[in-house]
Amino acid sequence: MSQFIVSEDFVLSPAIKERAERHIGAIREQLHDDSKVSVFLKKVSAKDYSAHYQVRFLKKDLVVDFRGPDLYKNMDKAVHKLIFLIHELKKQKQDNKRKAVQEFRRRYA
């Protein structure tokens, strides 16, 4: 289980770190494997923060980045978008599997 939480241009407070760890836990629940989850938090300007979440799932790198004045909102939006992308990839994989089975049955039935 590997995870990275990195902040740039500001101190990573315990509250922010705890929130990022909860987000990583939520992402891991969806993955059901031991993928590396990375969280990069950055202060872009005096009133602008960036939350960048990254994970490798089904041989694809999923990257989500949100910018805005509220770091917590950006983190929440990023984790929700990443979980949505994971669900979409799972659905796509199931659809492809279903199509392959149907094609096999059509050809050899």
Report pLDDT digits (tens) over 63-108.
999 999 999 999 999 999 999 999 999 999 899 999 999 998 888 8
Residue 28: give the domain boundaries. 3-108
Token pair in block for residue 39: 């969280």
Report pLDDT digits (tens) over 15-70.
999 999 999 999 999 987 778 899 999 999 988 999 999 999 888 899 999 999 99
At how many degrees (to 10) do helices 71-108 and 14-31 cross?
10
Q: How many domains does the chain have?
A: 1
With beta carbons less than 8 A apart as the criterion, state whether 41 and 16 touch. yes
CATH assignment at residue 103: 3.30.160.100
Cα distance between residue 22 and residue 24, in whole Å: 5
Cα distance between residue 40 and residue 16, in whole Å: 12
With beta carbons less than 8 A apart as the criterion, state whether 92 and 35 touch. no
Cα distance between residue 35 and residue 73, in whole Å: 24
Cα distance between residue 10 and residue 41, in whole Å: 9
With beta carbons less than 8 A apart as the criterion, state whether 35 and 57 touch. yes
